[in-house]
Structure 1
């Protein structure tokens, strides 16, 4: 089929120049939305083939501190697990061990090994020191310290149906932070500004699309000291990973580095500069990131999560940074990436087979880190760099929605973990991600196995005349005192990372005071442990359901995340959690009918399930979040003394809200037609795809008919459906016809 571009043969002619806007007030860049292209090749990588000769750098010896941290984390985790399993065997080895008891031991080994590794990772982090860049590299690979501006860095912001006011207010706040940096003040015509902002939109909502363009114009006017660019894709191929990949292919050659952000990311200028300096100082660096802190939470769950990550998070991140060394992971945002390394090594292949395991790679960040490391570049985490922030999901249901996509992405890594040439720590990262979701069905199976043993002991008579003609029946027996000791030991291992985090916070004056004092800090920790214990069984069943759906072949799709509002209708809460409540009631009845003491042991899990609806509703409550703050609970230092970048982002949000929008975006099509500057920018930014002759798009065809038959813009506006608005906004010919409709009526009214 022949393909024709908009405006060529087969399309109506464009409007005459006199109908186009003339006066443009978009700043020195005019209506240009993107810089000149500087393309880079980004070939998809082969997972089944690799040779070390393809690496950019040869494998370097593992530094001594990293080897020691790995010995503590993995060697200690194995020893701790062996001890716990041995104790479990002693508990059941009172008489002959039944097959069901052996199953219990096996499931216990997996779950205990999981928490043991977390505990020993926390211990490994206690002695962590940052890994320094490897010295004595060829001079040709070293950065030139005399011209830091030559190392241009793009702040890349991928967005998909996000709130433009929040996104662009955050970018403006970060731009103001960058303006105060010495390298920005020292920039000249030869070196140019060392930073630029590039917004990559995959937005499908027509009104949000135009609101993004309005906010983009406002950001350019407000921050003339930094170049700001905006590009919206017509097709959302491969989601966020494809969005960033297209950016690298078209403009990657313009930038030495890209600092990838998320819609709710905030970073101080010092943090951005520190990451960039670390990248320039180490020519082997492929990815450098720090550990983002959660801030800005207003609901009960938001405040709970940001307290947990603030107090316990440094313990975990220090431990991970200690044992992973240069073989680090990547969390998809708030990290700086060497563009050449990303283009060379991180092109994602399409996995064979059908969704959910085949197709485009969803959790792309883990895979990109592993492929970049395979190519010889380092991937490191520097948790000592402060000033990196992000938001938290506002409710339990929002976590569940996000986890559905993440669970599919992590389980999909089963097709990547065996790729040739990967470093073994990267395989550990993949295994850890897979197990993080498989652990829920494993934990559930462990609980059901224990319950089955109790049912067997209570209701099933022993067979004294089994086929082996034994004089004694095979009957499950347990060492009750040993079980209690093992339970207490397991709880101590489980809570060890949190206890270390609490101790560190108590001993650090600024952190302790920022949390409201010692008493408030301890009270907050107790509240966090209690609420997390009640929410854990709910998430266990939620994630188990996700795993079953994925194994059954159900794809998660791609939906936008809610960032602020945690409230859900009661009907939605009941529909989501009724199965959890029924499961909790059923398990409670079974436990009480067998051994009341068993119900007492399971009380935290059972209570969480039975109270799932009120717990879920409370998690998204802003009123309970404010109450906790008034009681000086769940406070963090960044809340007691908010960072300047957060204060500025909040203050600027109103300036980027589209005019006429109440609780959302204004009418995008009417906004474009009523603002000549916006129309000029919108037309300049469009990159419509050519259409196939004889195969018109039905939505576009319907929109064109309505446009031709409408008596005025008001009538047209009432007729159009959202997909039709999107079609008109994406087609210059139709958009200019709509402008002509308004201009003709305006001239008639004037006459």
Structure 2
């Protein structure tokens, strides 16, 4: 029977339900902190705090001189060699353009080379063994996990494994846990609540595990963290910020807390997350590269950055009051993609905290910090599109008043990392045009300027070949440094399958990276052009599971890349065989874009390499216990079916869940009489007209389902519906 419209009065809709008993509360009492919005235009040096322990802060001047001075010297040398290549005869304007593009692009890889070389030298000296734990910690730390339409089996399994690992250290009483949901899908929201209730039951009485869902995901993840800080941050000296795919051992978390307590000037301490649990072909490539090459790059950054470092948004510990006082992000004037809220908030938060006199640094040798990676090339490009917009948006922040030079360098590096792709593409196009001009266009013998010879672009082929070799050597050197270090590490070498398999794995990674590079170049170039044209990326949830993508989606995404590869190959072959051979890696990568993208997401290909002992990492040879535990818990939670159940059906069938859900809803503000919310009115009308739960579920659209779940009165109407009678089979 349908519910009468008269049964849903205005007073019922406005009156909040009685709060749940304190013992069952999903959240602790609020302990608020003020988080003022920071100005990017005004800053006085008098606002910067003075170090409490100045002896801990040292500017790594020699390291910075080595990295930036060395990169500058290499760039000058490369530019001079390129000038010699193009100045065999009178240099044309187009050749000067090629020289300028080469110099800019070469400077980028030269900086990466000198930074990695610094990391390589630093890692040759083995770090000392970690010190034992102190008897006790003195401060309280919140471990916060923001989630956004994630699979609960994954996120809650990881959080429980972290909880158990922290407790095993004997210092678990110093940590509380918060699941901070920004989910906008009804099924994900209710699944989180069910998993949260089950999590608390598994832990038992006194579990300091809390859950909060925001009705509006204002400012995305940055706003999610800011909401926690302003409402509960006053109760905690520190917070460890996770991502939904993060996994951190109790040893790692406790050591972060120890480091923070030992350094009264530390604002953020960042770890180096390693990639684990990946099995698709592309994800295994990333996992292998992160383990073998990542430490070299991260250590180099850590050495020259010192305590003027950066923050990557997760797997880090933050001093809560420093964050509240100085990391309130302003909205940028104008509309997205360059205006609005700041997408890549982590870089900006680190810069503002450093501006205020707190240090930011990384501990790259601290083990036990893990994350996952996108399972395919297309998934990587989706995430990369958002990162591209966020980094280009930093062009509005890099000139902010009072920022440290190192912070501006971090912004510049992020911007350059995405501008590099269109610049390399432009350099490639200019090079093709020059070869075309040399081959097909006749010289102009009678120019306006007197000359005994025609203006004819010429090149020095021997110097060009030598410069190409130098460029490739500098480009591949960071990979070689990481490979050498792993070969020197007997334990790590054996865990990667031995020296032979390790070298073969590195060759596979280099070849596949070379084939993927031109595809990513076009993807990133397209992203940059879209952003410059004003197209906003939005914020879509990430696909984290292993799995393939339908071939039609792959073809649709890469058909233009393939077409450009075919066109470039035919054109280069018609112009000159030597040009075709020189461009063959780029041409091959683009022509094979569709099969490469398909292969990247294949689980069978990744597992086949794993069986052969290729692309192995030490974490696969000896799986970290916390990863084993998280995987086991994930299987258990998956069997519970929280992610597979319709949200409205779950709330309807389980009265305890419905009451807990209503208790977790914030009080609803009373609606002024006469002001009707159209979407709520439509959802209400559908519920009133529905005679069965099944009708209501089928009629309500996604946004209307969220409205119902946010409204206690509409939930009451839902609970009064009857179930459709099951039809017996003949």
Is the structural similarity TM-score above 0.5?
yes
> Which TM-score band (shorter chain)?
over 0.9
Q: What is residue 613 of structure 1 aligned with on the other side? A: 594
Aligned mates of 2:382, 2:203 — CA distance in 1: 36
Correspondence list, 1:354-369, <5 A = 354-369=335-350
**Secondary structure at 1:350 match in 2:** coil
Mapped partners of 1:29, 1:527: distance in 2:
57
Which stretches in structure 2 are left out of the alignment for 5+ residues? 1-6, 128-133, 726-730
d(CA) in 1 for partners of 2:495 and 2:624?
12
Q: Name 1:233's counterpart in structure 2.
A: 214
CA contact (8 A) 2:16 2:667 kept: no
Q: Which residue of 1 aligns with 2:154?
A: 166
Q: Aligned pair 1:383/2:377, yes or no?
A: no
Provide the rounded CA distance (Å) in 2 between the counterparts of 1:722 and 1:329.
39
1-structure distance, mates of 2:210, 2:595: 45
- Match 1:672 to one of 651, 663, 677: 651
The residue correspondences of 1:321-332 to structure 2 (distance < 5 A) are 321-332=302-313
Q: Is 1:81 aligned to 2:61, yes or no?
A: no
**TM-superposed deviation, 1:518:** 0.5
Q: Contact 1:659 / 1:666 at 8 angstroms: preserved in 2? A: no
Moved more, 709-718 or 53-62: 53-62
Alpha-carbon distance between aligned partners in 2 of 1:159 and 1:29, rounded to the nearest angstrom: 25
Match of residue 111, structure 1, among 92, 100, 105:
105
Judging changes above 3 Å, is the alpha-carbon distance between structure 1 residues 596 and 688 closer, same or farther for their aligned structure 2 residues? Answer: farther
1:537 touches 1:609 (CA, 8 Å); kept in 2? Answer: yes
Shift in alpha-carbon separation, 1:325–1:99, aligned structure 2, 3 A: same
1:125 corresponds, among 114, 119, 123, to 119
Map of 1:200 onto structure 2: 180
Q: Are positions 1:92 and 2:80 aligned together?
A: no
The total of aligned residue pairs comes to 708
RMSD: 2.3
The equivalent residue for 1:657 is 638
- Please state how far the C-alpha of 1:540 moved relative to its aligned partner: 0.3
> What's 1:12 paired with?
12
1:15-30 alignment runs, 5 A limit:
30=23
- 1:180 match: 168
Q: Secondary structure at the match of 2:644?
A: coil
Q: CA deviation at 1:173?
A: 0.5
Cα 1:742–1:251 change in 2 (3 A) is: farther
Is the partner of 2:155 in helix, strand or coil?
Answer: helix
Give secondary structure in 1 for the equivalent of 2:255. Answer: helix
Q: Distance in 1 between matches of 2:120 and 2:598?
A: 38
**Corresponding residue number in structure 1 for 2:661:** 682
Q: TM-score, normalised by structure 1?
A: 0.91
Instruction: Determine the structure 2 residue equivalent to 1:415.
Output: 396
Q: Check whether the contact 1:37–1:250 (CA below 8 A) recurs between aligned residues.
A: yes
Show the counterpart of 1:735: 715
1:281 has 2:274 as partner:
no
Do the aligned residues in 1 keep the contact of 2:14 with 2:668 (CA within 8 Å)?
Answer: no
Deviations 1:637-658 (A, max 9, x none): 0011110111111100133237
- Aligned residue for 1:182, secondary structure, equals coil
Moved more, 221-230 or 652-661: 652-661
Deviates more, 1:279-288 or 1:214-223: 214-223
Identify the residue that residue 141 of structure 1 maps to in structure 2.
Answer: none
| CA distance 1:670–1:658, shift in 2 (3 Å) | farther
Deviation, 1:660, is 4.8
Which residue number in structure 2 is paired with residue 209 of structure 1?
Answer: 189
Relative to structure 1, the CA distance from residue 738 to residue 318 in structure 2 (aligned partners, 3 Å threshold; closer, same or farther) is same
Alignment of 1:260-409 (within 5 A): 260-409=241-390
Q: CA deviation digits over 1:707-747, x for unaligned, max 9? A: 2222232332233222222111110111122223459x99x
Please point out which of 424, 435, 440 is paired with 1:454: 435
Other structure's SS at 1:327 match: coil
| Alpha-carbon distance, 1:58 to partner | 5.4
| Deviation, structure 1 residue 92 | 1.2
Deviation at 1:244, TM superposition (A): 0.6
SS of equivalent to 1:11? helix
Provide the rounded CA distance (Å) in 1 between the counterparts of 2:164 and 2:453.
80
Residues 237-248 of structure 1 aligned to structure 2 (within 5 Å): 237-248=218-229
Q: CA deviation at 1:64?
A: 5.9
Deviation at 1:351, TM superposition (A): 0.5
Q: CA–CA distance in 2 between the matches of 1:506 and 1:116?
A: 25
1:565-604: CA deviations, max 9, x gaps?
Answer: 3411111111111111111111111111111011101111
Shift of 1:632: 1.1
Contact 2:58–2:306, Cα closer than 8 Å, also in 1: no
Does 1:46 pair with 2:46? Answer: no
Residue 694 (1) aligns with residue 674 (2): yes
Classify the secondary structure of the residue corresponding to 2:240. strand
Q: Is the 8 A contact 1:292 1:334 kept in 2?
A: yes
Contact 1:176 1:223 in 2 (8 A): no
Distance 1:62 1:609, change over 3 A: farther
29 and 642 in structure 1: CA distance in 2 versus 1, 3 angstrom threshold: farther
Bigger CA drift: 307-316 or 719-728?
A: 719-728
Describe the SS at the equivalent of 1:548.
Answer: helix
1:168/1:614 CA distance change after superposition, 3 Å: same
Distance 1:585 1:737, change over 3 A: same
Task: State the distance in 1 between where 2:592 and 2:672 align.
Answer: 56
Structure 1 runs not aligned, ≥5 long: 1-6, 133-144, 185-192, 747-751
Please give the alpha-carbon distance, in whole angstroms, between the structure 2 residues aligned to 1:695 and 1:598: 70
* Residues 691 and 722, structure 2, Cα contact 8 Å, conserved in 1: no
Corresponding residue of 2:230: 249
- Quote the Cα distance in structure 1 between the aligned partners of 2:650 and 2:392: 43
Secondary structure, counterpart of 2:195 in structure 1: helix
SS of alignment partner, residue 158 of structure 1: strand
For residues 653 and 739 of structure 1, the distance between their equivalents in structure 2, rounded to whole angstroms, comes to 31
**Partners in 1 of 2:716 and 2:386 — Cα distance?**
39
Deviation at 1:222, TM superposition (A): 1.6
CA–CA distance in structure 2, aligned partners of residues 82 and 430 of structure 1: 23
Structure-1 residue corresponding to 2:30: 37
Identify the match of residue 67 of structure 1 among 57, 61, 71. 61
Residues 429-444 of structure 1: matches in 2 within 5 Å? 429-444=410-425
Which of 636, 641, 644 is the aligned partner of 2:622?
641
- Cα distance in structure 2, aligned partners of 1:257 and 1:321: 22
SS in 2 for 1:468: coil
- Displacement of 1:31 in angstroms is 3.0
Aligned 8 A contact 1:516 1:635 in 2 = yes
Q: Deviations over 1:513-534 (max 9, x none)?
A: 1111101100000000000000
Q: How far 1:10 sits from its partner (Å)?
A: 3.1
Q: Distance in 2 between matches of 1:306 and 1:519?
A: 19
Distance in 2 (CA, whole Å) between partners of 1:332 and 1:553 is: 26
TM-superposed CA distance for 1:547, in Å, is 0.5
Q: TM-score, normalised to structure 2's length?
A: 0.93
Residue 146 of structure 1, CA deviation = 7.7
Instruction: Determine which of 200, 203, 214 is the counterpart of 1:220.
Output: 200
Instruction: Tell me, yes or no, if the aligned pair for 1:658 and 1:665 is still in contact at 8 Å.
Output: no
Q: 2-side partners of 1:556 and 1:355: how far apart?
A: 9
Change (3 A) 1:459 1:92: same
**1:52 deviation in Å?**
1.3
